[in-house]
Structure 1
Amino acid sequence: MKNLVLESLSKTYSDAYRGDAFVAVSDVSLEVQEGDFVSVVGPSGCGKSTILNMIAGFLEPTSGRVLVGGQAVEGPGPDRGVVFQSHALFPWKTVADNVTFGPRMRGVGRAERKKIADEYLALAGLSHAAALYPNELSGGMQQRVGVVRALANNPDVLLMDEPFASVDAQTRMTLQEELTRIWEERRTTVIFITHDVSEAVFLANRVIVLSNGRIMDEVAVDIDRPRSWDHLNEDEHFKALVNQVLQLVRTA
């Protein structure tokens, strides 16, 4: 089942003062099957985040359209969860209340919200942190809460815009492993934006390489799951895939 479809998606920014235009995204078409994990890489300014923001409904395409579950995207909606580089948690709410914010806005009752919080915090290994506030958590824990908060609203598509870029290398590797574990349990469709080629290959089933607002190439990641850095750091096929994507990015 095609869960996400981009049809000839383009975004142009006009500068009325200078009388010119900048094409950020040009004629991008992509089909993502339900439960797929797709990473998107490319040099800075290639249109990665612009595409994600159009899928999220934060930006309106200049032309083309986005469909989720066969329905055209016309703005933000609960069918799409978003995780940014900053965790964007509500500092005045506990971890549990942050996780259940989306369900609460949808009118889910208190007892069901507690069940959701318990389930998703357990999934992320955060049950012990339910009553804590964001400023009492490490950066890595904050990002884990951000991920499960998005998942707790049961979105059709999870959009992730460089969510691990702000943490240290060791924490980042741990978060990558935890994300793959959570994805294997839930099989939510994921679009993951990153500058880190190794991260893109480690996480995804497919890696999309962008260049100047267009899809340049696609690389299938045929590596068995579950995945761990202890294993893949020495895996020659993994290294070859990373090098293949890296060479594409360098020529983009």
Structure 2
Amino acid sequence: MKSLGLRNLAKTYFDAYKGEHVTAIRDVSLDVPAGEFVSIVGPSGCGKSTILNMIAGFIPHSGGEILVGGEPVTGPGPDRGVVFQSFALFPWKTVLDNVGFGPKMRGVPKAERDEIAREYLALAGLTHAADRYPNELSGGMQQRVGVVRALANKPDVLLMDEPFASVDAQTRMTLQDELSRIWEERRPTVIFITHDVPEAVFLANRVVVLSKGKVLAEVDVPIARPRVWDRLVGDDQFKDLSNQVLSLVRSA
């Protein structure tokens, strides 16, 4: 895993409807050491997903720089894995082949990539689903496949854009438990975008609050790991941190 650095990052674009340039991100700097889990929260339109898409290399930045392991990001690359809100699985491929797709694109022989895929499916408790197709899975299972598919390509940085927003509340908590456990085992560098403040606090080592395209505050989360909801529901430290972050978001 590698570190991630944002240096005076900026993004402007031309709004044809308004006939003017709009600044979406302004002078954002952030250091994420290798293996840290950082959540980014803030009001709608504050620039959370724009930052993630620039880190992924999907859209260019207008100013500043993005560094992965000290090297500048100039476009998409296998060093960054992305998990979206939509499951984005290939419906014509089995779960095993979906998870093995990244290694396949890197030229890994089939026997080896199947072994990699089975390893990550086991990590997420999905060994039994290896030969199924996405339409045979629940929404929660599909999203678990999406997470391990990104991890199976062994990216230096894992980027997650509201990945659990489309599932029900109970499934969401289960997925949060599982992601926390997987992060404990593999320690990828993670940027996690969410509107859900308790989710952000539950998962992260640090929560970054954005406001109008700028970093408003950073809140460390010193809650002991491993973390599971059964132990944190009603925990005073967790409630206090969640209230602190929520207050910052509301002020934004």
TM bracket (short chain): over 0.9
1:221/1:154 CA distance change after superposition, 3 Å: same
Q: Hey, what does 1:199 align to over in structure 2?
A: 199
Residue correspondences, number = 252
Contact 2:2 2:189 (C-alpha < 8 Å) held by counterparts: no
Describe how 1:12-91 pairs up with structure 2 within 5 A. 12-16=12-16, 18-91=18-91
Aligned letter for 2:78?
P
Q: Hey, what does 2:163 align to over in structure 1?
A: 163
Contact 1:2 1:31 (C-alpha < 8 Å) held by counterparts: no
- Secondary structure class of the residue paired with 1:24: strand
Aligned letter for 1:151?
L
Aligned letter for 2:119?
E
Q: Hey, what does 2:114 align to over in structure 1?
A: 114
So what's the TM-score if we normalise by structure 2? 0.98
Aligned letter for 2:173?
M
Could you say what the CA RMSD is over the residues aligned between the two structures, in angstroms?
1.0
Q: Deviations over 1:155-199 (max 9, x none)?
A: 000000000000000000000000000000000000000000000
Aligned counterparts of 2:101 and 2:148: Cα–Cα separation in 1: 11
Uncovered stretches (5+) of structure 2, i.e. residues with no partner:
none
So what's the TM-score if we normalise by structure 1? 0.98
Aligned counterparts of 2:222 and 2:117: Cα–Cα separation in 1: 34
Uncovered stretches (5+) of structure 1, i.e. residues with no partner:
none
Q: Deviations over 1:41-85 (max 9, x none)?
A: 000000000000000000100111111011110110000000000
Q: Hey, what does 2:101 align to over in structure 1?
A: 101
Contact 2:208 2:219 (C-alpha < 8 Å) held by counterparts: yes
Aligned counterparts of 1:233 and 1:153: Cα–Cα separation in 2: 34
Aligned letter for 2:9?
L
Aligned counterparts of 2:204 and 2:15: Cα–Cα separation in 1: 37
1:240/1:18 CA distance change after superposition, 3 Å: closer
Deviation at 1:16, TM superposition (A): 4.8
Aligned letter for 2:168?
D
Aligned letter for 1:94?
T
Deviation at 1:38, TM superposition (A): 0.1
